Chains A and B, each alone.
Chain A
Amino acid sequence: MIDQFFAGLELALRMDTFVMVAIGLFAGMLIGALPGFTTLMAMAILLPVSFFLDPIVGIPFLLGIYKGGIFGGSIPAILVSMPGTGAAIATTYDGYQLTKKGQSRKALDMALFSSIFGDTASDIFTLIMIFPIALLVMQFGPPELAAILFLSLVIVAATAGRNPLKGLLMMAIGLWFSLIGTDPIGGVERFTFGLFELKSGIPLLPMLIGVFAIPEIVNVIGDRSQQIKSAGKVLGERLKLKELKRCFKTICRSTVLGTGIGVVPGLGQVVAAMMGYTAAKNASSTPENFGKGELEGVAAAEAANNAVNGPTMVPLLTLGIPGDNITAILLGAFIAQGLRPGPELFESQGNIVFAILIVMILANVLFLVIGYLSIPFFARIVSIKSSLLIPLVIMFAVAGSYVFRSDVFDIYMLAFFGLFGVMARAANFDVMPMVMGFILGEPLEYAFGQTVAMADGNFLQFAISDRPGMLAILLITPIVGYLLWRSMNKKMKPIIDNN
């Protein structure tokens, strides 16, 4: 194994590999920054390019697009409050507030550093622990996933804010939105009002852009004082080492959480970002600053969602099973190169696997440089005059909603959720629990349906005798929920009294 590692290192250190990784990183970052274009699309389109390259060049090229794309998604989230993916929702919260305070450059720097730290740490952990992780992954089936998703919902509800009733109401609305469309297991149509367009459910992207970006646009248009901001000042300073140090504990916590969540198949980046953010808020002595432009909030979310990446590669590399669409494309790239991921690949061509893992880690160093150099450029976007920026943002909101599925109906959805977001804000409702309810609702329902099918009518006995893991998670759920709610309440209470 050690021999293979060094043979891999030798293979990895090639100039053309790094050139292609750099191209991939930059392309991924640009595409990820465009609302409506996903990393997945970019990888699918550029997949054939990798067919004609050496395995040690082609696969890292795709990995570069992947890494660049995930960070790219946080750029519009921070600059114009437009999360391009679910993973960037938690970043939107504090990132955009920092931009409003004129610290967009700082926020982008923090997003970059914490993303890369989370990614690198989880990659190294994966490289060392790949076989134990492979065993652990097998312990999580639909019953455990259902229990963890339910726990996540409870955590979101418990920490939703000062008014738990409002939070719960929004979450219920979100869960209801997730039910609209064709029932994922039975195939029955629900709440579609006979509209064919609603059969495939409510699209996520128009909802995200609608509830997060539209209210901000309305806000800026309504508030004329913002428009006279001078161009020079809005960029702000770069991130200081002192600030990075202050957030380091948070970054580490989020990395551990994200890596752990990455081990559970089917949870993914959205949950990781949310949990990292919640944990940071809970651990902070000043949780009231979260959501108002706290650098720690950006760090917590970005470190956590990137830390998911390492472990998600494990089922692909050790079993040859793609857990999601991104890894399915990577599987295609591997197979086209004559490399079939799976237990045998490590024995027969372990040096190539290690080489790819090593390039993954070295790519992060490269990314730090490319990202750091290009951030001032991206940050400039907010210095565009409001009279130009606002129409551009509106155009991106509409185009982004449309282009994802090329469906005009999605533009109506954008308008509906934009209105929803504006009304929710006016009535002082936080849209986050709604969005989380919507995102977690569908996989929760699916995993629960699978569990019921597996239990074959005898749920209690199934839980006790076959699935102690699920039972344990279900039993600690109310305790975790209560403790989080209490600690959050204690810290938040004095502020309410002061007001």
Chain B
Amino acid sequence: MIKMKRFTTAAALALCVGMASVGMMSVGMVSTAQAADYPEKPISLVIPLGAGGSHDLNARVMTSVIPQYLNQAMIVQLSPGAAGQKGTNEVATADADGYTLLFTHNYIDQLQQHVENLPYNPLEDFVTVARINFAPIAIVVAADSPYKSAEELFAAAKENPGKIKMAHSGNWGALFVPAAQLMQANGFELNLVPYKGGGPAMQALLSGDVDITMGFPSTLAGQLSAGKVRVLATAGDERIYDDVPSFSELGVGGDVGFMHRVVLAPKDIPEDRLTLLRDAFGKLNDDKTYQRMMGRMGENIDYMSGSDYDKLRADQKEAYESLVKEITGG
């Protein structure tokens, strides 16, 4: 009996130590070795957003397929906080050795610098590895809403400035910015009510707390087929739904209402490593398993090469700067 007790105590101690070592392992292996064979250890993919969001889910798919093109694992590291600045700053201050990458979107990347003092400079501190995909935003009202078309909505908003309530997912976020861009382009004013994410914003629309909201097609499918909501317009030049006009048709052109999911690297990353990473993401894009898994999640695959997207970033910077000036009156 005493032996038995000893055994279990020892086992409990072993369990403790075991759990601790698992913990230590996931903290990450610190390595100082610098070898020619890049990558020789797992690459961290920092996401400046919380668990369970669309970036997290996209990254889980990416990182489960990309190891076969990198011959190394890619590890998701969530670092939410300060509206994405915390994780972004971590990558900005990390060694530019290609072992720390950032998976972010255009609003965190290029808009924030105009509304806050950042400890980093997005264009000067980062270079694009690849754009993974993008999501066009849609203007959504409840099925029983009085607004039958985008024109009616815009006219009503002009007549009653600040009376129409729109639920968004947080200031200067993925729903707020397109709304601000529409307000800027059409000269009307909405009452923007913040919610903690796109889900709660949609719930606010369904319960009648707000008049309109926005959402990405991948999250709208269920509500649409159930006949609970109506889409008034979608971002871009092309129509996404046959009978719903695009933003261009309503006179709002350009890069408005798109959330680009992009992988960035610190600017000083060695040229050969950047090329290797860009190639790997290019190959990932053609991978059948990757395509199938992303399709199942309801996400599109709209790869854009890093160098092409870098040009877009410079344009975004200017567009967002004038937008912020106009909205805040600065």
Contacts and interface: CB of A to CB of B under 8 A. Distances in A.
B83 A187 contact: yes
B64 A48 contact: yes
Given A44-B52, A406-B79, A380 B223 contact: no
B185 interface: no
Given A181-B82, A320-B222, A454-B193, A381 B12 contact: yes
Given A321-B199, A322-B199, A405 B194 contact: no
Contact of A199 (B16, B81, B191, B209): B81
Interface in B48-105: 50-53, 56-57, 60-61, 64, 76-83, 85-86, 89
Interface in A252-298: 265-266
Interface string A401-417: 01101110000000000
B203 A34 contact: no
A402 B171 CA distance: 29
A383 interface: yes
B203 A187 contact: no
Contacts of A222: none
A151 B52 CA distance: 30
Nearest to A341: B222
Given A44-B56, A182-B82, A336 B222 contact: no
Interface stretch (A15-23, A135-143, A210-218): A135-143
A199 B15 CA distance: 37
A405 B81 contact: yes
Interface-centre pick from A138, A336, A340 (highest chain B CB count, 10 A): A336
B56 A340 contact: no
A142 B209 contact: yes
Given A40-B52, A48-B61, A344-B222, A406 B27 contact: yes
A41 B82 contact: no
B5 A231 contact: yes
Contacts of A185: 171, 194
Contact of A30 (B9, B19, B52, B163): B19
Contacts of A196: 82, 85, 89, 119
A429 interface: no
Interface string B187-206: 00001111110011011101
Nearest to A347: B226
A86 interface: no
A403 B82 contact: no
Contacts of A53: none
Interface in B171-226: 171-172, 191-196, 199-200, 202-204, 206-207, 209-210, 221-223, 225-226
B81 A403 contact: no
Given A37-B23, A181-B82, A340-B222, A231 B52 contact: no
A377 interface: yes
B44 to A, nearest CB: 9
B36 interface: no
Contact of B209 (A329, A399, A454): A454
Nearest to A325: B52
A47 B60 contact: yes
Interface stretch (A122-130, A157-165, A240-248, A445-453): A445-453
Interface stretch (B242-250, B267-275, B292-300): B292-300
Interface stretch (A113-121, A388-396, A476-484): A388-396
A324 B198 CA distance: 11
Contacts of B64: 48
B165 interface: yes
Interface in B132-183: 162-163, 165, 171-172
Interface in B1-31: 5, 8-9, 11-13, 15-16, 19-20, 22-24, 26-28
B13 A388 contact: yes
A5 interface: no
B115 interface: yes
B23 A34 contact: yes
Nearest to A392: B16
B19 A232 contact: no
Contacts, number: 192
Nearest to B228: A343
Contacts of B60: 44-45, 47-48
Contacts of B210: 454
Given A231-B5, A326-B52, A380-B12, A319 B203 contact: yes
Contact of B26 (A199, A231, A336, A403): A403
Nearest to A197: B86
Nearest to A33: B19
A354 B22 CA distance: 37
Contact of A399 (B27, B80, B86, B202): B27
A216 B89 CA distance: 36
A187 B171 CA distance: 8
B50 A453 contact: no
Contacts of B225: 340, 342, 344
Contacts of B77: 406
B116 interface: yes
B31 to A, nearest CB: 16
B9 A384 contact: yes
A132 interface: no
A107 to B, nearest CB: 17
A384 B16 contact: yes
Contacts of B165: 454, 456
Nearest to B28: A406
Contact of A383 (B9, B162, B191, B209): B9
Interface in A449-488: 449-450, 453-454, 456
Interface in A18-51: 30, 33-34, 36-38, 40-41, 43-45, 47-48, 51
Contacts of A376: 8
A494 interface: no
Contact of B51 (A30, A40, A201, A341): A40
A414 to B, nearest CB: 15
Given A47-B60, A454-B193, A336 B20 contact: no
B23 A36 contact: yes
A187 B115 CA distance: 9
11 contacts: A182-B82, A319-B202, A321-B202, A336-B296, A342-B226, A343-B222, A376-B8, A402-B27, A403-B26, A453-B192, A453-B193
Q: Which 3 A/B pairs are nearest by Cβ-Cβ distance?
A: A200-B81, A342-B222, A325-B52
Interface of A: 30, 33-34, 36-38, 40-41, 43-45, 47-48, 51, 138-139, 141-142, 181-182, 185-187, 196, 199-201, 231-232, 265-266, 315, 319-329, 332, 335-338, 340-345, 376-378, 380-381, 383-384, 388, 392, 395-396, 399-400, 402-403, 405-407, 446, 449-450, 453-454, 456
Given A323-B200, A456-B163, 18 more contacts: A40-B51, A43-B51, A44-B78, A48-B293, A187-B115, A196-B89, A328-B57, A336-B296, A338-B296, A342-B226, A344-B222, A381-B16, A392-B16, A395-B20, A406-B79, A446-B196, A450-B195, A454-B210
